[in-house]
């Protein structure tokens, strides 16, 4: 199903609320405060969309306990923003959202960050390893942007210090990217590989001192030597991960021109989410947006850290 922006859920608040309720509670409303299945819809204009729980007597709406809580922006605009972010391969800037949705730039910026929070992986997902028997996982690192106030000159410091990003991509599968804040070394590489990849996987990297030691614990480790202008030997290549980095870099340069170091992981999560739920894997634009809405639940506390 494509993302159809003429759908009433993007223009009409009542339609948006009904859509979100059906999406969140397909088997009947449950209270997000106590888990009871006895809530009743409240009547009256001032209490539109409000439920009263028969068990804990708490009041709540479809926004309660989600990243949309405590926001004055109508839900139909939240839905529109979610669909736009879900279907824009290189992302969509807060400036663009501000103009398209008729909200302030500041609101658009916070909205986009909350939606990114909904796209962040759950703890349970990162506990579930990538790859497996007969599966290939490409591992690579890239360096992007400039670290604030760390402009160093001299032979050993060509230009600015950049941020390190390590990513793992399973062929015909998903990607996980990590903003590495400490200096990149074998220990860091080991931690990332061990935590995220099934030991029965084949690992492919470029020739680097970082990976041979940790990768020796996996079923097979192959390398491509880029300095020899070698890019592929059969299925031994890192083209998939390079494609992922290329989309991310084009997005960061073209769409998100100003990204502070503290937000880099959030942008990585956004791009990882779209790639891991891409059309080629059978996930439509609309289904991707629905998955974001599912992820919006239970992430309210994490969001508060954004400030």
Size of the site for Zn ion (CB under 5 A): 8
Give me the least distance between CB of 131 and Zn ion, in Å please.
42
Give me the least distance between CB of 39 and Zn ion, in Å please.
7
Applying CB under 5 A, among 31, 85, 241, 268 the residue interacting with Zn ion is 31
Applying CB under 5 A, among 15, 34, 42, 306 the residue interacting with Zn ion is 34
- Residue number, 53 or 189, with CB nearest to Zn ion: 53
In this structure, the number of other CB atoms found within 10 A of the CB of residue 3 comes to 18
Q: Considering only CA atoms, which of 144, 159, 134, 127 is closest in space to residue 265? A: 144
Kindly indicate which of the ranges 11-19, 29-37, 80-88, 262-270 contains the residues binding Zn ion, using the contact rule CB under 5 A. 29-37
Kindly indicate which of the ranges 31-39, 95-103, 215-223, 299-307 contains the residues binding Zn ion, using the contact rule CB under 5 A. 31-39
- Position of tokens 């990114």? 116
Kindly indicate which of the ranges 34-42, 142-150, 196-204, 239-247 contains the residues binding Zn ion, using the contact rule CB under 5 A. 34-42
Q: Give the footprint of Zn ion on residues 49-108 (CB under 5 A).
A: 53, 55-56, 58
In this structure, the number of other CB atoms found within 10 A of the CB of residue 227 comes to 7
Q: Angle at CA 93, nearest 5°, toward 240 and 3? A: 70
Give me the least distance between CB of 57 and Zn ion, in Å please.
7
Applying CB under 5 A, among 7, 12, 18, 36 the residue interacting with Zn ion is 36
Give me the least distance between CB of 159 and Zn ion, in Å please.
57
Q: Angle at CA 111, nearest 5°, toward 107 and 112? A: 120
Give me the least distance between CB of 63 and Zn ion, in Å please.
16
Residues 143, 248: contact at Cβ < 8 Å?
Answer: no
- Residue number, 57 or 162, with CB nearest to Zn ion: 57
The full DSSP string for 93-129 is -HHHHHHHHT--HHHHHHHHHHHHHHHSPPHHHHTS-
Kindly indicate which of the ranges 47-55, 90-98, 177-185, 258-266 contains the residues binding Zn ion, using the contact rule CB under 5 A. 47-55
Dihedral sign from CA coordinates of 22, 26, 29, 33? negative
Per the DSSP assignment, residues forming a β-bridge with 51 are: 41, 60
Give me the least distance between CB of 25 and Zn ion, in Å please.
13
Q: Give the footprint of Zn ion on residues 115-174 (CB under 5 A).
A: none
Kindly list the distances between the CA atom of residue 296 and the CA atoms of 65, 209, 282, in Å, as whole numbers in the listed order. Answer: 9, 40, 22
Residues 181, 169: contact at Cβ < 8 Å?
Answer: no
- Residue number, 69 or 230, with CB nearest to Zn ion: 69
Q: Footprint of Zn ion on this chain (CB under 5 A)? A: 31, 33-34, 36, 53, 55-56, 58
């Amino acid at each position: 199903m494509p993302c159809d922006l003429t759908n009433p859920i993007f223009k009409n608040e009542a339609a948006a609320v009904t859509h979100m309720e059906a999406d969140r509670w397909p088997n009947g409303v449950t209270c997000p405060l106590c888990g009871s299945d006895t809530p009743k819809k409240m009547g009256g204009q001032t209490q539109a969309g409000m439920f009263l729980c028969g068990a804990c007597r708490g009041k709540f709406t479809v926004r309660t306990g989600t990243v949309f809580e405590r926001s004055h922006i109508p839900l139909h605009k939240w839905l529109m923003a979610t669909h736009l972010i879900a279907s824009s391969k290189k992302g969509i800037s807060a400036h663009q959202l501000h103009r398209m949705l008729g909200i302030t730039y500041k609101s658009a910026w916070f909205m986009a960050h909350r939606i990114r929070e909904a796209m962040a992986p759950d703890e349970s997902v990162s506990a579930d390893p990538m790859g497996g028997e007969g599966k290939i996982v490409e591992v690579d690192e890239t360096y992007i942007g400039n670290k604030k106030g760390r402009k160093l000159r001299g032979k050993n410091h060509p230009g600015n210090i950049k941020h390190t990003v390590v990513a793992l991509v399973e062929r015909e599968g998903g990607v996980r990217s990590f903003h590495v804040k400490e200096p990149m070394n074998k220990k860091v590489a080991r931690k990332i590989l061990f935590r995220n990849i099934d030991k029965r996987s084949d690992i492919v990297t470029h020739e680097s001192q970082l990976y041979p030691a940790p990768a020796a614990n996996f079923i097979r480790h192959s390398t491509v030597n880029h300095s020899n202008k070698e890019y592929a030997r059969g299925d031994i290549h890192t083209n998939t991960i390079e494609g992922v980095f290329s989309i991310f870099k084009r997005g960061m340069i073209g769409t998100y021109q100003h990204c502070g170091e503290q937000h880099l992981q959030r942008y990585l999560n956004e791009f990882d989410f779209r790639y891991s739920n891409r059309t080629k894997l059978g996930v439509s634009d609309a289904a991707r947006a629905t998955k974001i809405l599912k992820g919006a639940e239970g992430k309210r506390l994490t969001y508060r850290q954004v400030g």
